[in-house]
Amino acid sequence: MGSIKPFSGPFGKPELIHLLRRTMFGVKKSDLNFFKSKNLDEVLQVLVPKTPALPDPPLRAYYNNVDPTKDTLDSLVKFGTTWVDTPAQASQPANPSGSRRNSLKQWLTGLQLHQDRSVYEKMIMFYQTLLVTEDAVVENSHAMYNTQSLYRKYAMGNYKQLIKDITLDAGMLRYLNGERNTKSAPDENYGRELQELFCIGKGPGSGYTEDDVKAAAKVMTGWYVIYNEKINNVTTNVIPRKAFNKNNHDTNPKVFSAFYKDAVIQPDLKITNPAPFATIDERRAFDEVEQLITMIFNTDELSRYICRRLWNYFVYYDITPEIESEVIEPLAELFRANVDHQDQMQIVVKALLGSEYFFKPEHRGCMIKSPADFHIGMARTFDFPIPRQSADPSKDFTNLEAQYYMWNIFRTYNVNAGQDVNDPPNVAGWAAYYQTPSFHEIWIDTATYPFRKGAYEAIGRSNFTLKAANTYDGKSGFLNKMNFVDFVKQFDNPSDPNELIREAVELLFGPPLSQATKDQLKTNYLLLGQATDYYWTDAWDVYIANPNTSDPESKKVPQMLQDLFVYLMSAAEFHIC
């Protein structure tokens, strides 16, 4: 089997926009300007980087009283500082758990809204479709933050190491009952999902058996989670962490099926150094986990499964025999060849995004956007104004609150439309990424579309206001509103109505529009039924020269643009990427 065929056609603006649309949340005009002089290889060097450093953690921007002297919601964490290294205690006047969990979701949404020019944030969402944990089940902000940190640590890194780390991650141990898995009562939950959802899948090549699930469960017995401990004879909550009880671990040989070449896993008595664990029993138990994961990764089906999931996520839901042969197999071979490489996922994802099949016409503008792609992409494409934190958010309350307030607006849009970040509906993730035959069509129905409509109309027409009386320091509020004039100023030639419509459609729509449709948009929204293009050109030029103009036609420019772009957001083509 050869390598995956690289794209060999012309790499122009249509190809660039397709690539950016699939790898980022929305396409900004500034993104196009940044990449327009680069070839495909140069673009991929930027878009598919090695895993960056972890971002700054979420901050406390929540409270239960607008008078700071009476706020008791999180008495151990100063407003404007992070809560991630401070466990909540039962002795606190109020329980901040729910507020911290919401803070984490707002922060995650903010990282998407403020993403850099890379596929990194899209990869974080990919892992939320593949290595699922649910906030609603784990119910612990610190555990969920640490699991998220694993996604981020290995986003473009080594998948095997990610599986090793997440297997004994406190959040995952809690989520899939690993903390309850003992030799006297083996819990098969994680052993099943490790194979069925995280590594092998349920396709025709997934030949593992029920006995393999049972054996995997026995390998991982004895691990549990510590939530509190006695410090100075006082029971104190701690940040959840894994621990091991040798009395609950099954030390018998674990025998696997022919699918795993009749492998046998048992403690390696040759291991005599406990490092980096506290005891030799714990070190040997971890070695069994490593043996299990190595055994699973030695199957060819694992690499095929991960590459199929990447294809479904980034390109299209359908995998034909041709795609299996020409894309999945060579990509899986590349995955296996780099199974221990620290940049494995970067190598594989870059090959997929630079492939001939990624750019085929039938794979462009063919998938309904997820709620995150729709709402986050809308905000980024239009450069919707979202406040930035100051250098010291613990002192500049207004910017901090304004930022988290807007992050929560977009997080709520996503929730209403069916995609709550960090909280998929079950261990399989969101159905639109795996459920045959509907796949991406699941994202829009009579229940979710009205929420999309409400969101784009609010973004297009409404003010977002936080009154000073409702802010933490009670001193100053803020106002956010979309400015379509400023947005259109970025265009190459906004005074030409034909060019304005062409560029708007190019930036916003997945599928192309006919010239007749573009002409109709121009006539309806920029010419207001007039026959000559000068109607718009004159109005635009006068308004830009003096936004306070008294000219009756020029004064209409902001409203004309608002009506145009709200209409474009209502079009089916805007919901497709």
pLDDT digits (tens, 9 = 90+) for 65-114: 888 888 999 999 999 999 999 999 988 888 999 999 999 999 999 999 99
Return the pLDDT at 90. Answer: 86
pLDDT digits (tens, 9 = 90+) for 433-487: 999 889 999 999 999 999 999 999 999 999 998 888 778 877 777 788 999 999 9
* Span 490-508, average pLDDT: 97
Q: What is the pTM of this model?
A: 0.95
Task: Please identify which residue in the block is written with the tokens 């997945």.
Answer: 510
Return the pLDDT at 476. Answer: 73
Return the pLDDT at 2. Answer: 65
pLDDT digits (tens, 9 = 90+) for 218-236: 999 999 999 999 988 889 9
More confident residue, 69 or 59: 59
Residues 339-367, buried b or exposed e (16+ Cβ, 10 A)? eeeebbbbebbbbbbbbebbbeeebbbbb
How many beta carbons lie within 10 A of that of residue 50, not counting itself?
12
Query: Rounded distance, CA 408 to CA 480, Å?
Result: 14
507 phi and psi angles, rounded to 5 deg: -75, -35
Return the pLDDT at 501. Answer: 98
Share of the chain above pLDDT 90, in %: 87
pLDDT digits (tens, 9 = 90+) for 22-55: 999 999 999 999 999 999 999 999 999 999 999 9
Reported as half-sphere exposure (CB side, CA atoms, 13 A), residue 84 has a value of 16
| Strand ranges in 31-100 using DSSP code E only, listed in sequence order | none
Return the pLDDT at 472. Answer: 81
Return the pLDDT at 489. Answer: 97
Return the pLDDT at 232. Answer: 86
Return the pLDDT at 203. Answer: 74
Return the pLDDT at 510. Answer: 85
233 phi and psi angles, rounded to 5 deg: 65, 15
Query: Rounded distance, CA 229 to CA 562, Å?
Result: 58
* Span 178-187, average pLDDT: 97
- pLDDT for 1 beyond 60: no
Return the pLDDT at 66. Answer: 82
Q: Copy the structure tokens of residue 487.
A: 């947005």
pLDDT digits (tens, 9 = 90+) for 296-330: 999 999 999 999 999 999 999 999 999 999 999 99
Query: Rounded distance, CA 205 to CA 183, Å?
Result: 30
* Span 489-501, average pLDDT: 97
Lowest-confidence range among 134-138, 343-347, 400-404? 400-404
pLDDT digits (tens, 9 = 90+) for 338-363: 999 999 999 999 999 999 999 999 99
pLDDT range class, residue 506, cuts 50, 70, 90: very high
More confident residue, 206 or 105: 105
**What are the residue ranges of helices labelled H in 389-496?**
397-416, 449-461, 484-489
For the chain, the average pLDDT equals 94
Q: What is the DSSP string of 521-533?
A: HIIIIISTT-S-T
Query: Rounded distance, CA 575 to CA 577, Å?
Result: 7
Helix axes 13-23 and 40-47, enclosed angle (nearest 10): 20
> Of 404, 388, 474, which Cα lies nearest the Cα of 60?
404
Return the pLDDT at 105. Answer: 98
* Span 267-281, average pLDDT: 94
pLDDT digits (tens, 9 = 90+) for 360-394: 999 999 999 999 999 999 999 999 998 877 777 76
Task: Please identify which residue in the block is written with the tokens 């959840």.
Answer: 240
